Structure 1
Amino acid sequence: MSVAAKTQEILSLARSRAVQDRERLLLAIVDLCDAGDGATAVMESPPVQALLSSIFMSLVVEAERDIRRRLAEKLADAEWAPVALINVLALDDIEIARPVIASSPVLKDNDLVRLLVEATIEHQIEVARRPQLGAPVVAAILEQNEPAVLTALAGNVSAQVSRDDLKRLIGAARRIAALRTPLSRHPGLTDDLARELYVWVGQALRNSLAARFRLDQTALDAAIAESIREAHGGVVSEVDGTVVFPQEDERAEMEKRLLAKLDQAGQLRPGYLLRALREQKLSLFIGGLTTLGRFDPDQIRRAIDSDRPELLALACASVGIDRSVFPTILELVRELNDGHPGGGAEGARRAAGAFGPFAPDIARTAFTKALAKV
């Protein structure tokens, strides 16, 4: 069929108000997308462009999901596609939106930034994965600071990520473990940035970074080990090598510095809290739980001084402590805190329910709300 005939067919279908003709119209356009240069000529012809601008939006809104999906797949690479239509498809269900977000040349930086603000996390992740992502969109992703979206950006090696952007991502890797592997492989990583990342990754990635950038692993590992060594509560005298234990106020300040250093190095983990209790360091446990959960110290102190062990359980669940470990933690806290949190065996049974099948952030929210009622 000639370009003129195809154009006339599309216009005839557009004039019809019958539901089946409207679906035929969309399907005809979908088929045209596979027809090569002749199709482009049809779609770029003034009558068809006018048609697209006037009625295409209502057609798409009324169309079945399968038709919208096929249309999105066919229009993903089309430079002639109407801007409004592409933006509507980009906000559709993620399975429909994905090819458009990934490839459409019609979507500009401002459109992508709007998706980051208005669309779901799944849409935002697809934006972060888009090839050749522009600097304004990268800046918007960093500003929003959403972990899953940051992780997708870290794995997008074609995005316009500057050195400062990488530095911000590495800073975020301190709390977002998923960022560490893609960042360790990023082509924009430099020697100094690799050293910053080194202290927050596991041994396998450390070895990889050391081999790639010729880092001094001995010096870096010694610095990290020093942070862990201080956890024993004393410092080594430079005079005779003996351990000197500080006064109470000095100890509190030392613990605060220690926890900050471990947290910055990515070495403050849930297992450290159990170790602190076994070493009879309740204040270190409280400080560690406060730091890991980003709580106020008074919140944790109120929880462990209460008669509701489920409060402590919620706080522990929010930082990733396992259900199986909590009975030991509760027993040790009670031993070091004059039997608190109280509640006896019944309280311990209630506390077990705090480790339900939900995410840590839900446990954190529940902890905050429950504590407000104490």
Structure 2
Amino acid sequence: MSDALKTELVNFKALDAEANASRSAELARQVATLFSYTSDRCSAEQVEIYDGVLLRLVGMVEREVRQFVAEKMARLRRGPEQTVRHLAGDDIAVAEPILRESPILRDVDLVELADKHGDDHRLAIARRDVLSEMVTDVLVRRGDIVVKRAVAKNGGALFNDGTLCALIHESAKDVSMQEILSDRPDLADNHIHQLIAVAAEDVRAKLVSRGQGEEASRVDEAVDALAVNMSNEYWLGRYDFETAQTRVLVLAKRGMIDEAALRRFANEDRFAEVVATFAWIARYGIQEVSHWMVRPDPEPFLVVARANGISAITVSQLLNIGPWRHRLTPESRKTSLQAFERMSVSDAKRKLAIWAHAGMSG
């Protein structure tokens, strides 16, 4: 774009001479609208020219016009970076759509804005569709309880261990935060236990205050059970078992599902297919098997594997994939494999019969 075209876009010399606020406002609206329609087709040079023009114009107009420009810029994939960053640091009435939606703002921009500005700006950032660990860290460190709750509620937010622990610590005095965190599907085992331990104190206190000592004594047991269930759901929620089961059933019809297929899926770390294959071989439901193969105590899996003639080599492979890669320690894997090797097929079938009679599966 030539200098002549720059002058045609906005003649700032004439505009300064007019000293006319309404003319500046009209031009800002027109340029922002024009760019919003053509941004995808602009060259890098043209975007840079628009950026310089818009940046100068937004410095000449009232807040209402800056709001208009911000709304036009907020959803653009390609945009005037300097102008967007300038608007993001404006009054919250101007900045909010940019902070919440603009993909042009980088993580370093968001961190700087969250650190420099107040909780209104931080709250808008907390409501973005996706938040990186570095952004959630500054929001939780610098934000008030409203900001912290918004971050915790954001399904697209990623957390490092320290940030999550800070939110769990915060929940000790905030029941709403406890409820929000308990709904997150991405809490790891240690965070779930921390959260439930914090919440359980309130539950125990309420029971004791009502003279329900017996119920209070059972809180710890209930807490442990709930922690296990929440942990299992977190891990299982990461896999597409429905698609895996469909794929395995197609292979089974072709006679291609056996222990060799189980090992092949294990080698490829395709946990959902491993579960579906094991369920087909053992003739159990995939939901039941998936829960066996995620729990910290793999006994039900070991028993069913032995009863169905699965080899120790295959069992060893399976103890090292999927959730068990993270949830089992080297010592627990070794102990589990030793227990499997000591178990006879008849012992395993006898235990399965006992479980079936009792109406449970281990």
Q: TM-score, normalised on structure 2?
A: 0.49
* Larger proportion of helix: 2
Q: TM-score, normalised on structure 1?
A: 0.48
